[in-house]
Chains A and B, each alone.
Chain A
Amino acid sequence: DAGITQSPRYKITETGRQVTLMCHQTWSHSYMFWYRQDLGHGLRLIYYSAAADITDKGEVPDGYVVSRSKTENFPLTLESATRSQTSVYFCATKAGFEETQYFGPGTRLLVL
């Protein structure tokens, strides 16, 4: 049981390109989250989803788009990548009745 998988694990792209980071869960947790981790900032929430077709902005949503057509998938798209979006991106999930968020392994993104 893989739990949460993220793909790709590493990505190098160029400024202006569109990039999609994938997140897949096998637990059927209702909540899914995208965080970014930058030095000196800890983790910051980009977007989250309470259920399929329900998404909401987090702390740093600008430049990102999400969708959730199926419960198990929560892709994050950078519409036109910028160097400031170089970061480590974590997907997380949470069951509706639980407190704890569980994190995927992360995707390291470098924007040149």
Chain B
Amino acid sequence: AQKITQTQPGMFVQEKEAVTLDCTYDTSDPSYGLFWYKQPSSGEMIFLIYQGSYDQQNATEGRYSLNFQKARKSANLVISASQLGDSAMYFCAMRVQGAQKLVFGQGTRLTINP
């Protein structure tokens, strides 16, 4: 069975610091995709970044990067130069080959302090 684990229920970071949100996954399928979504207090789910299991390089999108360590089955989200607007819930999710559904972790609540 596929599973996503986010071990940090909450994190507090000073503005302008970099932050790493942890995500580990479990699957026996060789082909899969990993996603990060942001959920601000307004409630919507915002797509941030995607990494395919066969991608050779770590994905980057602006201030977001995904630290993909395949052997360790981890897909940590790195936010550089954090901003107050980064305060939100962050969800890691996985899709495996042949399935269209996403399996989500329980989320990490990130709070950026001024």
- Please, how many residues of chain A have a CB less than 8 angstroms from a CB on the other chain? 24
The complex places the Cα of A35 from the Cα of B103 at a distance, in Å, of 10
The complex places the Cα of A33 from the Cα of B100 at a distance, in Å, of 9
Q: Are A101 and B43 in contact (CB under 8 A)?
A: no
A43 CB within 8 Å of chain B: yes
- Please, how many residues of chain B have a CB less than 8 angstroms from a CB on the other chain? 21
Query: Which DSSP category, helix, strand, loop or mixed, fits chain B's interface?
Result: strand
Q: Are B106 and A101 in contact (CB under 8 A)?
A: no
Minimal beta-carbon separation of B113 from chain A (angstroms): 24
Query: Which DSSP category, helix, strand, loop or mixed, fits chain A's interface?
Result: strand
Q: Are B52 and A45 in contact (CB under 8 A)?
A: no
Contact residues of A between 30 and 71, Cβ < 8 Å to B: 31, 33, 35, 40-45, 48, 50, 58-59
Q: Knowing A43-B91, A105-B44, A106-B43 touch, does A99 contact B100 (C-beta < 8 A)?
A: no
Minimal beta-carbon separation of A75 from chain B (angstroms): 19
Q: Knowing A40-B106, A42-B106, A42-B107 touch, does A103 contact B100 (C-beta < 8 A)?
A: no
The complex places the Cα of A101 from the Cα of B106 at a distance, in Å, of 18
Minimal beta-carbon separation of B84 from chain A (angstroms): 22
Cβ-Cβ contact count across A and B, 8 Å cutoff: 52
Q: Are B91 and A42 in contact (CB under 8 A)?
A: yes
Q: Knowing A43-B91, A99-B33 touch, does A88 contact B102 (C-beta < 8 A)?
A: no
Taking a contact as CB atoms closer than 8 A, the residue among A40, A50, A88, A100 that contacts B47 in the complex is A100
Which chain B residues have a beta carbon within 8 Å of chain A's beta carbons? 4, 33, 35, 37, 43-47, 50, 52, 91, 93, 95, 100-102, 104-107
12 A-B Cβ contacts within 8 A?
A: A33-B101, A45-B101, A48-B100, A59-B101, A88-B43, A90-B45, A94-B100, A99-B35, A99-B50, A103-B47, A105-B44, A106-B45
Which chain A residues have a beta carbon within 8 Å of chain B's beta carbons? 31, 33, 35, 40-45, 48, 50, 58-59, 88, 90, 92, 94, 99-103, 105-106
